[in-house]
Amino acid sequence: MSTYAKTIQGHQCDECGAEMVLLLFCDHCGADYPERKRLNAFSLLGLEPAFSLADETIDGLEIELTRRLHPDKWQHRGERLHRKALLAQTAANQALQAIREPFERGDTLLLLQEEVSSGQLDGNNSLPQEFLVEQLELQEEIAEGLEPDRKRALKSLVRAELDSLRSQLSDQFVRVQQVETDSERLDALKSARTCLDRARYWRNLRMALKGVAAR
């Protein structure tokens, strides 16, 4: 059985009993389940909430969702079903967007933790002043224009920083599952939050570099 098949096993339509590719809409009989709209992205896609999702799993899921939910398949079934399929595909795309990229996935996963919803991580999003100053200076440097060598060096720096933060983030989510005390778990979640906050700045630099023509 494929990795993808394992992720959706057991999700059946209440109306026809067929296996569902998305918990909002049955691509066999057209039954929809609007009460499930509040499900998180992982649950909606039939995945276990986890940071360590293989790219192959997400790619395979996207292909299957596109194949089975494409609205064109439902045009001959009437406007109402066609609209339901379109809404289901939109919801699927939004859920995939929330988990596809590692840092987006980290944000999505962090929001599922009860410590976040209860406000225990509030006030933990302040980063060191020197880091913020460095980021501002780099943004200003990029905005003023870069020599080719400097642009290549900055791209390499951004890539290295994001790779490091991705590894740290993975470690912290593993730690969340392994620690034995609430205080250790909270500490791991705070560290994950810090990784995500730092990554946001480096990702902004990456986007800025993509929009800069070397002079």
- Cα–Cα distances in angstroms (integers) from residue 130 to residues 81, 134, 160, in the given order: 55, 6, 19
Looking at residue 1, what is its pLDDT? 31
Percent of residues, the chain, with pLDDT higher than 90: 65
Structurally, what CATH architecture does the domain formed by 3-100 represent?
Orthogonal Bundle (1.10)
**142: its two tokens:** 């990029």
pLDDT at 72 > cutoff 90: no
CA 174 to chain centre: 17
Q: Which helix (H) or strand (E) holds 117?
A: helix 114-117
Measure the CA–CA gap between 186 and 121, rounded to whole angstroms: 8
Band the pLDDT of 2: cuts 50, 70, 90: very low
- In this prediction, residues 142-164 reach a mean pLDDT of 96
pLDDT top residue among 131 and 7 = 131
Q: What are phi and psi of 32, to 5 degrees?
A: -120, 160
At 199, is the secondary structure helix, strand, or coil?
helix
pTM: 0.84
The domains of the chain are located at: 3-100, 127-210
Q: How many Cα atoms sit within 13 Å of 67 on the Cβ side? A: 8
Report the candidate in 73, 82, 85, 80 with the shortest Cα–Cα distance to residue 22. 85
Measure the CA–CA gap between 190 and 203, rounded to whole angstroms: 20
Report the candidate in 166, 156, 198 with the shortest Cα–Cα distance to residue 102. 166
- In this prediction, residues 171-179 reach a mean pLDDT of 94
Segment among 26-40, 146-160, 170-184 with least mean pLDDT:
26-40
Measure the CA–CA gap between 22 and 142, rounded to whole angstroms: 43
DSSP character string of 179-211: --SHHHHHHHHHHHHHHHHHHHHHHHHHHHHHT
Helices 182-210 and 129-144, interaxial angle, to 10°?
A: 10
pLDDT at 171 > cutoff 80: yes
Looking at residue 215, what is its pLDDT? 46
Band the pLDDT of 79: cuts 50, 70, 90: confident
Q: Are 207 and 154 in contact (CB under 8 A)?
A: no
Q: Are 83 and 73 in contact (CB under 8 A)?
A: no
Average pLDDT, the chain: 88
Q: Given CA atoms 66, 8, 39, 61 in this order, what sign does their dihedral have?
A: negative
